[in-house]
Structure 1
Amino acid sequence: MITVCFHGAESTGKSVLADKLSHALGATCVPEYGRTYCEERGTDLDMADLLAIAEGQATAEQAAKASKPQLLILDTDQLMTAAWAQMLFGEVPDALMRYPKADLYLLFATDVPWVDDGTRFFGKGPLRSRFAALAEDMLVRAGVPFRRITGSWAEREDQARAAIAALTQKTGA
């Protein structure tokens, strides 16, 4: 099983593209648990909420892995939750860094317009840039492989498809 995680700041096309590519490639997609959590409980979060989100994401990933798909696309994972922890509270609990990692992370740039959907926090200028930098920093800190995804919506899709294809070819999956 190959696992690819979509990673990066809010409103960069991760969720839409994760869903689209999972259908197109016959992959299993694990949606972002944090979105559901915030829609149900609100966005006034504390560290306990972030740890609960991380655990909810892990539970969803384990459930998806049980069917043993060839390709598993994660709309996010605990490294993104770690970026949220750093952004909101100035610290990252060790527990967030200890979860299993994906085989490849696709880091989505903030070079597309931000859209407020009611659960997003950091859409304006310096905050968006800072959050994007923290997201990248978590990947570097974890020492995981990643590829940058930039440009128009079509370019993002092409880049993501190419990165996934290269990984599957490399691993023989």
Structure 2
Amino acid sequence: MAPGGTGTGLMLRVVLSGVESVGKSTLAAMLAKQYRGLLVPEFGRTYTERLRRDLTLEDHYAIAEGHEIAADQAAAANPPVLIEDTDIVMTTVWASMLFGARDPILASRASRADLHLLLLPDVPFVADPVRMFGQDTQRQRFHELVLAEFKARGIEPQVISGTWAGRKAAAEAAIEAALRVQA
């Protein structure tokens, strides 16, 4: 199927998940462009960059709400593919990672994705001023929380791993398969 849609007027919602520095934002932008869709950037990152203090649990509620509003605004345009750079799954995991327990309020919010792409932490960590968990043990713990959150929600993500080119090819294959099912 050609990139850009199903011809049915249906929108495919794709969410990229994974720990820090696995290429979510870069891949999300590439996929949105390739499929003539819209991109919902990672709201939590933008929110965090503006803070001059540590995140609180209440900040995670604001992040969840802000992301959902941005996704709703993008979805209103009815693009053939909506690519979300994270969603409530990762917001819930972030809160678990930072505060030591799964928050029931965040956990009660449903993901609205049709397809979840889970990028594995099998690429080198690249530090920046916002990223927090770059040590191998931290990344592994974070990744285990991501897996646990998907399991708790009953979601089976498509696993994306390997080289940058391999990640892009695997993501494209997953999207193409989802578009065929949707058609």
User: After superposition, where does 1:35-54 map in structure 2 within 5 Å?
Assistant: 35-42=45-52, 44-54=54-64
Contact in 1 for aligned 2:13/2:82 (Cα 8 Å): yes
| Matched letter for residue 50 of structure 1 | H
User: Which residue does 2:94 correspond to in 1?
Assistant: 84
TM-superposition CA deviations, 1:43-100 (whole Å, max 9, x none): 6111011111111111111111111112111100011011111111122222322234
Which has the larger share of helix? 1
1:137 corresponds in structure 2 to 148
Q: Any gaps of 5 or more consecutive residues in structure 2?
A: 1-10
Contact kept, 8 Å, 1:104 with 1:144, in 2: the verdict is: no
Residue-pair matches, total: 172
**Separation (CA, whole Å) in 1 of partners of 2:53 and 2:24:** 20
Render the CA deviation track for 1:139-161: whole Å, top value 9, x for unaligned: 11111231100000000000000
Question: Which amino acid in structure 2 is aligned with residue 9 of structure 1?
Answer: V
For residues 93-131 of structure 1, the C-alpha deviation after alignment (integer angstroms, 9 at most, x for no partner) is 223222342111111000001011211111101101000
Distance 2:112 2:145 in 1: 17
Identity %: 43
Task: Using the TM superposition, give the Cα deviation of residue 2 of structure 1 relative to its aligned residue in structure 2, in angstroms.
Answer: 1.1
Q: CA deviation at 1:39?
A: 1.0
**Cα distance in 1, alignment partners of residues 102 and 64 from structure 2:** 12
Q: CA deviation at 1:24?
A: 1.2
5+ residue gaps in structure 1? none
How many Å separate the matches in 2 of 1:104 and 1:141?
Answer: 17
SS of match in other structure, 1:121:
coil
Task: State the structure with more CA Rg.
Answer: 2
Residues 149-164 of structure 1: pairs in structure 2 closer than 5 A: 149-164=160-175
Q: 2:49 and 2:24 mapped to 1: Cα distance?
A: 18
- For residues 160-171 of structure 1, what are the structure 2 equivalents within 5 Å? 160-171=171-182
Question: Given that residues 5 and 74 in structure 1 are in contact (C-alpha distance below 8 angstroms), is that contact kept between their aligned partners in structure 2?
Answer: yes
CA distance in 2, matches of 1:141, 1:34: 22
Aligned-pair Cα RMSD in Å: 1.1
Q: Indicate the residue corresponding to 1:63 in structure 2.
A: 73
Distance 2:20 2:172 in 1: 21
Once structures 1 and 2 are overlaid, which stretch shifts more, 9-18 or 37-46? 37-46
* TM-score normalised by length of structure 2: 0.90
